[in-house]
Amino acid sequence: MPGRLILACNGYGGNAAMVRAHMPAIGDALYFGHPGNRGDALAWGQVLGAATRHLGAYQGHGNVAHPHGILITWAVIGEGGFQVNAEGRRFWNESQGYSEAARAVLAEPGGIAWAVFDERCAGVARQFADFRAAEAQGAIRRADSVEALAGAMGVPGPALAESFAGAQGTDAFGRRFDPARRLAPPYCAVKVTGALFHTQGGLVTDGGGRVLRPDGTALPNLWAGGGAACGVSGAGDSGYLSGNGLLAAVVLGARAGAAGG
């Protein structure tokens, strides 16, 4: 089809005003994407009369080393670690996922938390270059006892000990800990904050990437893919699964590129 216009210039994570308007819970979060993602495709589509959906949807991550700005893989949590706030206390069910973690962490005092794990978890995480970089920059604190770890973190020892004691079986938050993965010394901790990785809402499209009006009719010669289009993550942060952004980029991009061919 001649004259095809395909909007594929990503979402609006780099537009602080739009982020605050559509996702206030992480409005002041560190943005882990390209600052050029300003929502231009969304603005252009709206001017042309396109429908939008789920503008408050996003992928977040609640395990970014602070102030280093280095992503700490969620594997340290999945392998048996947990998060505590600046008071040394657990504050949520970490098994909900890393995207939801951004909002949970940012709601705590100072918008920071500590990821607590052990050397076994660190060994798994060391497969990732980001984690090795965090170690090289001194972001990971280590200690041979819970009391010493609390000192290294600067949190109250009794509260941290209580958090360790509660992280077994099915805890007060509903998370089930595997007894075989219970943390053991030497222990590790890293100060983290929540971050926005990319937005998931955008222009409404059909299955082929064609941009639709609010009444469901298609705009002529206009397609969208990737972050410019509404993805499949639902309305917030909890629907995000790893690869959702790539799904919208690859599938809608391919369909839009082949349209009319």
Q: Give 78-134 pLDDT, tens digit per residue.
A: 999 999 999 999 999 999 999 999 999 999 999 999 999 999 999 999 999 999 999
User: Lowest mean pLDDT: which of 9-13, 47-51, 195-199, 202-206?
Assistant: 9-13
pLDDT at 242 over 90: no
**Pair of tokens at residue 46:** 């709206």
Query: Domain count of the chain?
Result: 2
* 146 and 232 housed in the same domain: no
How much is the pTM? Answer: 0.89
Q: What is the CATH number of the domain that holds 251?
A: 3.50.50.60
pLDDT value for 149: 98
* 27 and 87 housed in the same domain: no
Confidence of residue 236 (pLDDT cuts 50, 70, 90): confident
Q: What is the CATH number of the domain that holds 120?
A: 3.90.700.10
Please state the rounded mean pLDDT for residues 196-200: 93
pLDDT at 261 over 70: no
Question: CA separation (Å) from 200 to 14, 217, 237?
Answer: 13, 22, 9
Sign of dihedral through CA atoms 175, 153, 131, 234? positive
Mean pLDDT rounded to a whole number for the chain: 93
pLDDT at 186 over 90: yes
Question: CA separation (Å) from 89 to 41, 114, 248, 251?
Answer: 42, 10, 38, 43
Strand partners for 118: 187
pLDDT value for 260: 58
Nearest to 12 by CA among 25, 4, 33, 28: 33
Q: Give 128-170 pLDDT, tens digit per residue.
A: 999 999 999 999 999 999 999 999 999 999 999 999 999 999 9
Among residues 195, 215, 232, the one where a domain terminates is 195
* 110 and 18 housed in the same domain: no
User: Lowest mean pLDDT: which of 15-29, 37-51, 108-122, 229-243?
Assistant: 229-243
* 178 and 205 housed in the same domain: no
Among residues 145, 172, 195, the one where a domain terminates is 195
pLDDT at 65 over 70: yes
pLDDT value for 207: 84
Widest CA span in the chain: 69
Confidence of residue 243 (pLDDT cuts 50, 70, 90): confident
Q: Give 202-211 pLDDT, tens digit per residue.
A: 999 998 899 9
Confidence of residue 254 (pLDDT cuts 50, 70, 90): confident
Helices (H) and strands (E) in the chain, counts: 9, 12
pLDDT value for 241: 74
pLDDT at 2 over 70: no
Between helix 157-166 and helix 146-153 the angle, nearest 10°, is 120
**Pair of tokens at residue 90:** 């657990």
Nearest to 233 by CA among 34, 55, 27: 55
Q: Are 188 and 84 in contact (CB under 8 A)?
A: no
Q: Are 200 and 34 in contact (CB under 8 A)?
A: no
pLDDT value for 10: 84
* 162 and 66 housed in the same domain: yes
pLDDT at 177 over 70: yes
The residue range of the domain holding 138 is 61-195
